Amino acid sequence: MPPLSTSNSQTLEIGAAYIRVSTDDQTELSPDAQLRVILDAAKADGFVIPKEYIFEEKKGISGRKADNRPEFQRMIAIAKSQKPAPFKRLYLWKFSRFARNQEESTFYKGILRKKCGIEIKSISEPIMDGMFGRLIETIIEWFDEYYSFNLSGEVMRGMTEKALREGYQTSPSLGYKAAGEGKPFLIDEMTYPIVEYIFRTYHDGRDMTATARAANAMGYRTRHGNLFDRRAVYRILTNRFYNGEVVWNGITFQGSHETRPAVTSIYENVQNRITSEYRPLKRREASANAHWLSGLLTCSVCGSSLGFNRSNNQKKRPDFFQCWKYAKGIHPGSCCVSARIAEQTVLSSLENAMGQNYLEYEYIPKTAVETNGEELALKEALDRIAIKEQRIREAYENEIDTLEEYKQNKIRLNVEREQLTAALEQLRQKIQQSTSAPPSQAEVMARVSCVYQVLSDQEVDNETKANALRAICKQIVFDRETRRFIFYYYTS
């Protein structure tokens, strides 16, 4: 066999492909055609694209907003999941497939290029390396964004005209189905009883949370198949469509769709009750460490966190923790405890440990924590070798590569495997040699005493207390039925 050349001795690289088809581009290649030209280009560059790194959006997904593209978000998440990134180059048919919003394009390309070290290549728009190439790429993105913005304006004008002519074009509400061609929506006999049940239950006196809980107990689900919560019930009760009105982008008209007396006869009474009893539902700003137990207390019923609730009237009802799923009506079992009782129980648990001079805990060696990511990365790299071997074998069997090319690729992969295996063995020897002994009970109790002093000090802020407790405690489960707290302590 002749000696391998320098270019042939390089290891094979893993690539990825992102594919999205725009419905407004008549010159767009089909997904299969995009994938075919991408795979050909990748092979010519010495890249292999495994099936799991082919990210293809469903047909018609818009490129305006990255949040609305599940495959795009999955691609970004996988790229950020480990260092180095699982693939080295991302192939696109056109830059506009990546994004048609220049702000998002710049943001996500920055993540891939700077944080993940991933190259981005457009098959149909080859550009040179360096700053001049980036300038050309930016100009292409400008044109793509202008095209998308202009198209959006045309579509919006058409939809506005349709609404002014009293055409139906929004997604059907729960209990209705579209008739097509702008015709009035039709009642869905399978789901409209859910709407009637929610209106009747709330009208008869239950609050929104209890109504959600009752609907879930009946086996009812939202339009997207989820459990009902307070917000979902609020949206149904305040939806004017059920009273015959159609609202779209500030345009309102009396619709010609069918409504039923079971809802319309009590609709105004429901609105009056909502106005008198409830403040509008607003998204609350999250605050870090609202309480030093926030995030540690969990519900024994469903395993969810107990959210901290600050009371406006401490005499009537002090601050408390409540399972957030129960608070939203998602599960029937209440799990609530006052913040004062939770605080006292934590302090009592630590006092009891100090009194007995003993604490039952889980030992987590520091070395294991520090090297776990490195070991995982090496194992995943070895797994990718197997994928590469499968790809080169398929390329040979399908007569894409010659026998000589297959042999050379096989040699390169064997060398790469040997290097990774040696590195993994060295890491394991390092772990075995440097594993420290568990701390003594005296050391553990010293830590417990320190945490107790921090939690007992009224002058210490929430964040400091939260960090101190998390240094020795992983989780605290509260069982409402038995009124018991189960503590999971650890040390490293």
Write down the pLDDT at residue 386: 81
For residues 297 and 307, give the distance between their C-alpha atoms in angstroms, rounded to a whole number.
8
Write down the pLDDT at residue 242: 93
Write down the pLDDT at residue 313: 78
Between 411 and 332, whose confidence is greater? Answer: 411
Region 479-485 average pLDDT: 88
Region 461-471 average pLDDT: 85
Question: Is residue 367's pLDDT more than 60?
Answer: no
Query: What is the pLDDT of the chain when averaged over all its residues?
Result: 79
Among the ranges given (30-34, 118-122, 245-249), the one the predictor scored with the smallest mean pLDDT: 245-249
Region 68-88 average pLDDT: 87
> Looking at the domain that runs over 13-148, which CATH code has it been given?
3.40.50.1390
**Four-CA torsion 288, 292, 295, 297, nearest 10 degrees:** -160
The H or E element containing residue 306 is strand 306-309
To the query of whether residue 22 is one of the catalytic residues in this protein, the response is yes
For residues 21 and 324, give the distance between their C-alpha atoms in angstroms, rounded to a whole number.
40
Between 157 and 1, whose confidence is greater? Answer: 157
pLDDT class for 166, splitting at 50, 70, 90? low
Write down the pLDDT at residue 347: 93
**Percent of the chain scored above 70 by pLDDT?**
76
- Could you tell me the sign of the dihedral formed by the alpha carbons of 162, 164, 170, 175, in that order? negative
Between 390 and 204, whose confidence is greater? Answer: 204
Region 237-257 average pLDDT: 83
Would you identify the CATH topology of the domain 176-277?
Hect, E3 ligase catalytic domain fold (3.90.1750)
Write down the pLDDT at residue 433: 61
pLDDT class for 23, splitting at 50, 70, 90? low
- For the segment 189-219, what is each residue's pLDDT rounded down to a tens digit? 999 999 999 999 999 988 888 898 889 889 9
Among the ranges given (10-19, 158-167, 359-368), the one the predictor scored with the smallest mean pLDDT: 158-167
Contacts of 167 (CB under 8 A, 6+ apart): 182
Write down the pLDDT at residue 368: 52
Determine which one of 7, 9, 22, 124 is catalytic. 22
Q: Kind of pairing, strands 47-48 and 119-122?
A: unpaired
pTM (two decimals): 0.41
Contact 8, 81 (CB under 8 A): no
Write down the pLDDT at residue 61: 58
Region 327-342 average pLDDT: 81
In the sheet that 320-323 helps form, which strands lie side by side, from edge to edge? 306-309, 320-323, 336-338
Write down the pLDDT at residue 282: 43
